[in-house]
Amino acid sequence: MNFQIENSKSNDIDEIFRLYQMATDFQKTMFTVHWPDFDRKIVQNEISENKQWKIIIDGKMACVWATTFNDPQIWEEKNEDPAVYIHRIAANPEFKGQNFVLQIVEWAKRYAEENHKQFVRMDTVGNNLGLITYYTKCGFEFLGLLKLKNTEGLPAHYDNATVSLFELKI
């Protein structure tokens, strides 16, 4: 199956939020912690700043995610390291089983190198053994759990949360 990775555009925002809603609905069937409703302005800013990405397959949006080069509230002192941080991976269920995280990892390694970064990092809320196993199979090292200290301004699911931290050295 042929796919392209490219920046999301402003006219993608409704489809991005549709994928977020489907991901949240799935999370609600599996976990006690799930994504909140995200702020459209934040996503629009990510799009404007080329920090929102998509995988396109046969003209359809198959997966989306966001990137940043800073994540101090989650990564604390490690935020000083040169890293790409990946957030909010949401896949279109029509493309289930495509291993998008593996494709994102390969892309993120190249993206990190192009931007002179030494790490690709991710986090997920809670001690989700299924996700920990999956992300380690995708090449990430599980660094452990961290109780967040300052969640002001972060999405609601981070309030009073413990996160699992993942890192891939380039």
Pairing between β-strand 141-147 and β-strand 162-169 as defined by DSSP bridges: antiparallel
- In CATH, the number for domain 3-169 is 3.40.630.30
* Sheet of strand 83-91: strand arrangement: 3-7, 52-57, 60-68, 83-91, 119-125, 162-169, 141-147
Q: What is the pLDDT of residues 70-124, one digit of tens each?
A: 999 999 999 999 999 999 999 999 998 899 999 999 999 999 999 999 999 999 9
Q: Is the pLDDT of residue 141 over 90?
A: yes
| pLDDT value of position 36 | 65
pLDDT value for 39: 86
pTM here is 0.91
Tell me how far apart the alpha carbons of residues 39 and 61 are, in angstroms, rounded to a whole number: 20
Choice between 153 and 169, residue whose per-residue pLDDT is larger: 169
Average pLDDT over residues 127-146: 94
Residues 27 and 88: their CA atoms lie apart, in Å, by 12
For the cut 70, the answer to whether the pLDDT of residue 29 exceeds it is yes
pLDDT at 57 over 80: yes
* pLDDT at 18 (0 to 100): 93
